[in-house]
Amino acid sequence: MIGRVRRLVITAAIALGTGLVPLLPARASTPKPVPTARIVTSVWATGALFSHRVGTPPDVRNRHFCSASVIKSPARDLIITAAHCIHGRHQVYDFAPEFHDGRTPHGIWGIDAVFLPYAWKHSRSPLADFAILRVERHQGRGVQRTVGGRGLATPDYARSARVAGYPAGTDGRPITCTNQIYRTQDYPSFDCRGYVGGVSGGPFLQGGAVVGVVGGLHSGGCVSSTSYSSPFGFRVTNLLGRAEAGGPGDAWPTVGRPSGC
């Protein structure tokens, strides 16, 4: 063993003398720990989506199944969610902003119309997995006037984002987490544990803007520690313009999320 050590020292000295640097074992990089989402009471201008059968009254005791956020518009009546959240015949959808513990501090708002990107309507493209919904008015007031709203923007990959959403269930509270975002193919991506079914449509937040919604690749992700969004760009800009212009909206899709995972 001593002779082997001496040979290694001599070999290293010869290598240094000839200008060569001896190869040393590479250190294994330590992966960054993935944070875990925390439960909060509510997230400003974000809420849970519910559904009920046509002809029956809204009931927030039903299971909430997706998440959505109020966005800025001239009529102050628009929210954004994932397109794969909106499907099914004979269903009526409702939005409960800042819902928590079975409570609806700002009431229950019915959905009046849905606006879907062309690429989602015709091919269920995961690049266009977002929908803008028009919300019914309460006593002439739009939901944005009641709870506020955020603008839409493209993501800044040099910054972290906060992602919020409601795990599916009854009565519960939303979760939230902040971490760096990055690209997977063309999809904004985010690592944090705890993002299970129900958070689809929840916002990727940077500053005062929504820069994505949980959806897109694999309908938002195959594991609870990684979430995706469809990329915001011309598709979401065009969709917002169409929703702001009013009109009857699109036909409600009968098929939801594409096959994945």
Instruction: Note the pLDDT tens digit of each residue in 190-246.
Output: 999 999 999 999 999 999 999 999 999 999 999 999 999 999 999 999 999 999 998
What's the pTM? 0.86
Pick the more confident residue, 232 or 259. Answer: 232
Residues 6+ apart with CB under 8 A from 136: 77, 109, 110, 111, 112
> How far apart are alpha carbons 52 and 92 in whole angstroms?
5
Q: Is-contact 161 190, C-beta < 8 A? A: yes
Q: What is the residue whose two structure tokens read 């010869």?
A: 14
> How far apart are alpha carbons 77 and 8 in whole angstroms?
74
Stretch 161-173: mean pLDDT:
94
- Locate 82 and state its tokens: 């994932």
Q: What is the share, in percent, of the chain residues with pLDDT greater than 70? A: 84
Instruction: Note the pLDDT tens digit of each residue in 6-40.
Output: 443 334 343 444 444 444 444 444 567 899 999 99
Question: Could you tell me which CATH number the domain at 38-244 has?
Answer: 2.40.10.10
What does the domain layout of the chain look like in residue ranges? 38-244
> How far apart are alpha carbons 33 and 128 in whole angstroms?
31
